[in-house]
Amino acid sequence: DWTPAEILTEQVAAIRERIGDAKVICGLSGGVDSAVAAALVHRAVGDQLTCVFVDHGLLRAGEREQVERDYVAATGIRLVTVDASERFLSALAGVSDPETKRKTIGREFIRVFERAAAEIAEAEGGVKYLVQGTLYPDVVESGGGTGTATIKSHHNVGGLPEDMTFELVEPLRLLFKDEVRLLGAELGLPPAMVARHPFPGPGLGIRIIGEVTRDRLQILRAADAIVRAEMTAAGVDAQIWQCPVVLLADVRSVGVQGDGRTYGHPVVLRPVSSEDAMTADWSRLEYDLLARISSRITGEVTEVNRVVLDITSKPPGTIEWE
């Protein structure tokens, strides 16, 4: 049995030994795995590491700030943020099919990351290593081979191009998620980041049913922020696996809001309990919490006039709607 402090000391020594004085890059997704992996490598080799955070414009409220401000303040990591939201939104224009969305987002992500990596390599005089937050369950799932250069948080939207020749550093390969969270806490990462629920690589792009537009993203972001704030305030985060909030952007229904009739959109709450996301059950959240969420969303997000609860287990329903 290892304590997080022991894992940290041992990993830092091993990483330092392996990397020597070479240069390293790491893509941050805002999720806990890449955040912990990068912090660990930074602890070992300091500013030989440069992190890249691609803002694809499909993030939730506050996520970019959490990485740029809180995470950087906590770790001292050197961070390059690429604001690519325009590019992703143009590429997604007219796209409603879920798989096409994933492919489009994956393709753009690789192009943006590749460009950023090339610029860093140029400035640093060559980059030898790429850090990835691969966990033990990912290693087992992929047959245990030495990793190919895919970006884990986007594993099902594409990998890195084959001509990117980095050696992989995967310091979390022997750890489970709960151990990674403990290690993150030991490294002093922001608590909200360490405790974060899973969030898909394609982000809000696959939580808007229909075409993804800037206006629709704004609506969903506002509704999602209310759901997360109320769930955290109610202290239920640890009881659930995740709670996607989904905007049915092509559906309208009649409502009465404020002074008159509206013809707005529904949002779906999809709170689920799960061990590993392979199967899931819908979470029996308190009615009072659901009521608060519903009245806040319909009161504060004027384009939404209905809040509905998804009571489907997985199977048959997947966790995400797309």
- Closer by beta carbon to ligand XMP, 39 or else 157: 157
User: 135: which 2 tokens?
Assistant: 């966990």
- Closer by beta carbon to ligand XMP, 168 or else 240: 240
Task: Give the whole-angstrom CA distance, residue 23 versus residue 42.
Answer: 11
310 binds ligand XMP (CB under 6 A): no
Task: Give the whole-angstrom CA distance, residue 153 versus residue 155.
Answer: 6
3 state DSSP class of 256? strand
Long-range contacts of 65-68 (CB under 8 A, 24+ apart): 66/30, 66/190, 66/192, 66/193, 67/28, 67/30, 67/35
Say how many residues make up the chain: 322
Task: Give the whole-angstrom CA distance, residue 226 versus residue 153.
Answer: 25
Q: What are the residues facing 263 on neighbouring strands?
A: 254
Q: How far is the CB of 223 from ligand XMP (least distance, A)?
A: 17
30 binds ligand XMP (CB under 6 A): no
Pick the binder of ligand XMP from 51, 110, 157, 219 (CB under 6 A): 157
32 in a labelled binding site: yes
Q: How big is the site for ligand XMP, counted in residues (CB under 6 A)?
A: 15
Pick the binder of ligand XMP from 66, 75, 153, 262 (CB under 6 A): 153
Q: Give the binding range for ligand XMP (CB under 6 A) out of 77-85, 162-170, 254-262, 312-320.
A: 312-320
x/- mask, ligand XMP, residues 92-121, rule CB under 6 A, reads ----------x-------------------
82 binds ligand XMP (CB under 6 A): no
x/- mask, ligand XMP, residues 240-279, rule CB under 6 A, reads --x----------------------------------x--
Q: How far is the CB of 199 from ligand XMP (least distance, A)?
A: 7
Cα radius of gyration rounded to whole Å, the chain: 20
283 binds ligand XMP (CB under 6 A): no
Do 301 and 259 contact (CB within 8 A), yes or no?
no
**What percent of the residues of the chain are helix, what percent strand, and what percent coil, each to the nearest 5?**
45, 20, 35
- Closer by beta carbon to ligand XMP, 45 or else 52: 52
56 binds ligand XMP (CB under 6 A): no
Pairing of strands 260-269, 304-309: parallel
202 binds ligand XMP (CB under 6 A): yes
Do 212 and 175 contact (CB within 8 A), yes or no?
no
34 in a labelled binding site: yes
137 contact partners, CB below 8 Å, separation of at least 6: 176, 177, 276
- Which residues bind to ligand XMP, rule: CB under 6 A? 102, 153-154, 156-157, 198, 200-202, 242, 277, 314, 318-320
**Binding residue positions for ATP:** 29-35
**Binding residue positions:** 29-35
